[in-house]
Amino acid sequence: MLPEMLQLIDLHSVDKEIYELTQELEKLPQELTDSRERMAALEAERSSHLEEMEGLRKQLREMEAEVADLEEGIKASRERLMDIGKELELKAMLKEIAFREDQRDQKETRVLEILDQVEAHNQTIAEKDEALQTLKEAYDRHAAEVTGRVEELEKQRAVLVEKRESLRKELPPQLLKRYEFILRRRNGSAICEVKAGVCMGCHMNILPQQFIDLQKGEEIIQCPHCQRILYWLGEAEDEEEAKAEPRARKVS
């Protein structure tokens, strides 16, 4: 295998670690964003219930005022009964009192319904407050964990980046340029092993002549399908084949 190919394998190993660390670093803040969104949604639900409850309380005040007015009217009408001498007027007044009492009863029933609704909203708001408190405490704990984890990963990445820069300097500029182009295009996977003539990056067969040239280890070869730079660990494959042969003879 060419010396620069060995250097590429070392560099790619470091780049792969950097890529994985970077992916994790990008995911960690998203976890906190998800938690904040859940809290915001809960806050919105709480605000909605609070707004509805305030509307109900306004209705309640208006309804109670109407009940009080009806009570005053009923009381005044009853007091006037003593002064009415004519039967026709008496019947009319009694009818008016009955009508007002019916209105009062309906409004009192509505008052009780509103009170039940207000109580239900109060209960829901209390539950939302409890859930929000639980989420907030969990968020604070998780935020502290994420901060610590981010610091740890940043330190690891800094060490790897320094190592990466050292390895980059050892490679020919054109090969490095080609490698980094593929690295960007293939999401952090620029080189891969070939086993039994198959590229382990795209799992496609390479050309027979390419595989022969790859085994010679005299040039840099790319996969004709995914363009990744290829390498062949001949010793490892020979060892696997050697292990497989006795088993095959035993079976036969």
* pLDDT (tens digit per residue) in 103-158: 999 999 999 999 999 999 999 999 999 999 999 999 999 999 999 999 999 999 99
Mean pLDDT, residues 226-230: 95
Segments of the chain assigned to CATH 1.10.287.1490: 3-168
Mean pLDDT of 173-192: 92
- Least confident range from 6-15, 68-77, 242-251: namely 242-251
CB-CB contact of 114 with 60 (8 Å): yes
Q: Please tell me the predicted confidence (pLDDT) of residue 247.
A: 43
Instruction: Give the containing element (helix H, strand E) for 206.
Output: none
List the single range of 29-33, 63-67, 112-116 with lowest mean pLDDT.
29-33
CATH 1.10.579.10 fits 3-168, yes or no: no
Distance between CA 54 and CA 118 in Å, rounded?
A: 9
Beta-carbon contacts of 139 under 8 Å, excluding residues fewer than 6 positions away, are 32, 35, 36, 39
pTM of the model: 0.59
